[in-house]
């Protein structure tokens, strides 16, 4: 019988997207972000014991779409951030962000070294890296729902979360570069690591600087074109080009996508918006609505909960979760301004959400000595950590901010 190869992909996408939206709806009904529902949808489908669904876990076309979804997601995160915000956030946000990366990374390394003593130091480093980032979208949604986006706590949390993403991506780039260098047979030592750090930092600085310099004239020329869809085509091409360039220099492609989002501020869409067209962020939404859920559901599909039954794996999940929760509370030590609720700042930095999953997905695709850096058991432990940190943040932050509002002024 004739079988169109697209037909299998079509029904797979239909199942994954419907499941993502149903579970996303259920998540929002209980006060959780939709992204958590999309992840849980994948976990439920992936552990249902259905052979056809199991076959989707390694489907190369779905994997490519999911990877594109991760690029689009990080591009969108960058678009919602701004270079001006990064420059103006102040000493408190910068120190909060630095502690929010260093503390969880160190605790994640210690947990991995304790519970996985035979694993490579790179495995310890990667597990530590998955704890570094903060999901700015989840915390921003909670603060918006509470009408607290204009408070000092919110400004510090959101500014620090954006810097956390930058620092976390640098940590990811360094760890990934070190693993790939060792895989190529590079000699161990401090010097190769220094080179990776320098390369990661230089790429981010150069990509942003060159992007700012080149993007303005590029978008001015694009604005003269009268074909439909020019803005989104040029914007996505810019994102994909920087993602390719990041991969070409040995970094994760998502680093380039995030840098592209940082560069393309609202000024690039101004001429298009002035003639009645939607802005770049608005045009990206339907593309993200298609590709990003595929990424999250596929990550859930690949989460084998049976792996947690292996000796020590449940302990690893619990310990990683505890390290994720405690590590971000060190952020409160970085608050320098008087009158700011330090507990609320620490709680607002807890959720790992989509960024933690992206880090785990990168690790699952890396090999060292013929073995995946993040195996099935460690991946399942990371997913548990992401789910718990994402679920506990909204109620904890609501409680903390309400408690702070009831306190008498100093």
State the pairing for strand pair 367-368/371-372: antiparallel
Q: Which residues are CB-neighbours of 213 under 8 A, at least 6 positions away? A: none
The token pair at 123 is: 């495995």
Q: CA 138 to CA 93: how far, in whole Å?
A: 18
Backbone CA torsion sign across 252, 188, 372, 164: negative
All domains in the chain, ordered by first residue: 5-405 (1.20.1530.20)
Distances (CA, A) of 399 to 104, 302, 306, 348, 404: 23, 34, 35, 11, 9
Considering only CA atoms, which of 343, 301, 327 is closest in space to residue 385? 327
Residue pLDDT tens, the chain, 410 long = 557 778 889 999 999 999 999 999 998 888 777 878 888 899 899 888 888 998 898 899 998 998 898 889 878 877 876 666 656 556 777 888 888 889 999 999 999 999 988 888 888 888 888 888 777 666 766 676 667 766 778 778 877 877 777 777 778 777 777 777 666 665 555 555 566 667 767 777 888 788 878 888 888 888 888 888 899 999 999 999 998 988 887 677 877 888 888 888 777 888 888 888 888 889 999 999 999 899 889 888 888 888 778 778 889 999 999 999 999 888 888 887 777 788 888 888 888 766 777 777 777 777 777 777 788 888 888 888 888 887 788 788 878 877 755 555 54
Nearest to 111 by CA among 309, 315, 410, 370: 315
The CA-atom distances, in angstroms, between 98 and each of 67, 210, 211 are 28, 26, 26
How many residues does this entry show for the chain?
410
Three-class DSSP category at 84:
helix
What pLDDT does residue 36 have?
80
Q: What angle separates helix 253-263 from helix 230-248, to the nearest 10 degrees?
A: 140
Whole-number Å distance between alpha carbons of 86 and 94? 9
Tell me, what's the pLDDT at 57? 87
pLDDT at position 196 is: 63
Q: What's the count of helices (H) and strands (E) in the chain, helices before strands?
A: 18, 2
Nearest CA to 137 among 288, 334, 242? 288
Q: Which residue has the tokens 């942003």?
A: 208
Give 372's strand partners: 367
Which of 398, 375, 368 lies closest to 144 in space, CA to CA?
A: 398
Q: Give the DSSP H/E element, type plus range, for residue 372.
A: strand 371-372
């Amino acid at each position: 019988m004739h079988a169109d190869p697209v037909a299998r992909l079509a029904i797979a996408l239909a199942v994954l997207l419907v499941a993502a939206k149903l579970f996303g709806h259920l998540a929002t009904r209980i006060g959780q972000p939709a992204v958590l529902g999309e992840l849980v949808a994948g976990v439920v489908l992936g552990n249902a014991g259905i052979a056809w669904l199991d076959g989707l876990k390694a489907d190369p076309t779905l994997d490519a779409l999911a990877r594109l979804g991760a690029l689009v997601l990080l591009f969108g995160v960058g678009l919602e951030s701004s270079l001006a915000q990064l420059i103006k956030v102040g000493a408190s946000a910068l120190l909060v962000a630095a502690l929010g990366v260093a503390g969880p990374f160190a605790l994640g390394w210690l947990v991995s070294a304790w519970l996985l003593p035979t694993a490579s130091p790179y495995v310890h480093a990667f597990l530590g890296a998955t704890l570094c980032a903060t999901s700015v979208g989840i915390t921003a949604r909670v603060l918006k729902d509470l009408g607290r986006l204009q408070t000092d706590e919110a400004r510090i949390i959101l500014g620090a979360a954006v810097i956390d993403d930058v620092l976390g991506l640098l940590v990811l780039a360094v760890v990934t570069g070190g693993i790939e260098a060792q895989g190529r047979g590079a000699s161990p030592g401090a010097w190769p690591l220094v080179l990776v750090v320098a390369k990661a930092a230089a790429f981010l600085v150069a990509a942003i600087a060159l992007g700012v310099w080149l993007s303005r004239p590029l978008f001015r020329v694009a604005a003269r074109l009268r074909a439909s869809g020019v803005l989104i085509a040029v914007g996505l091409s810019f994102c994909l080009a920087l993602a390719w360039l990041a991969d070409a220099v040995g970094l994760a492609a998502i680093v380039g996508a995030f840098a592209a989002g940082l560069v393309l501020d609202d000024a690039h869409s101004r001429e298009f918006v002035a003639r009645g067209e939607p802005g770049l962020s608005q045009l990206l939404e339907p593309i993200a609505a298609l590709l990003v859920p595929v990424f999250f559901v596929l990550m859930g599909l690949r989460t084998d909960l049976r792996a947690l039954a292996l000796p020590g794996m449940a302990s690893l999940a619990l310990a990683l979760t505890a390290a994720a929760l405690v590590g971000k509370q060190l952020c409160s030590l970085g608050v320098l301004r008087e009158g700011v609720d330090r507990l609320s700042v620490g709680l607002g930095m807890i959720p790992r959400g989509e960024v933690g999953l992206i880090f785990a997905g990168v690790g699952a695709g890396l090999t060292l000595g013929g073995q995946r850096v993040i195996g099935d058991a460690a991946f399942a432990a990371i997913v548990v950590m992401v789910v718990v940190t994402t679920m506990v943040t909204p109620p904890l932050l609501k409680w903390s901010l309400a408690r702070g509002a009831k306190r008498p002024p100093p």
